């Protein structure tokens, strides 16, 4: 699902001459951060 959406966004951006950036973050022990900060 995410890949299909990304492909659509990239194609749309390319057609319009726009730049696109993608950032993926993998945090260890994210549950404790989420529980503390919400």
Contact between 20 and 11 under an 8 Å Cβ cutoff? The reply is no
Q: What is the mean pLDDT of the chain?
A: 91
pLDDT at 4: 94
Give the domain ranges of the chain. Answer: 2-37
The residues, any chain, with a CB within 8 Å of residue 33's CB and separated by 6 or more, are 27
> Is 90 exceeded by the pLDDT of residue 34?
no
Terminal alpha carbon distance of the chain: 26
CA distances (Å), origin 33, targets 2, 18, 25, 28: 24, 34, 14, 9
- The pTM score is 0.54
What confidence tier does 11 reach under pLDDT thresholds 50, 70, 90? Answer: very high
């Amino acid at each position: 699902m995410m890949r299909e959406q990304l492909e659509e966004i990239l194609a749309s951006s390319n057609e319009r001459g726009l730049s696109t950036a993608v950032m993926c973050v993998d945090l260890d022990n994210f549950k404790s951060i989420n529980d503390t900060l919400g």
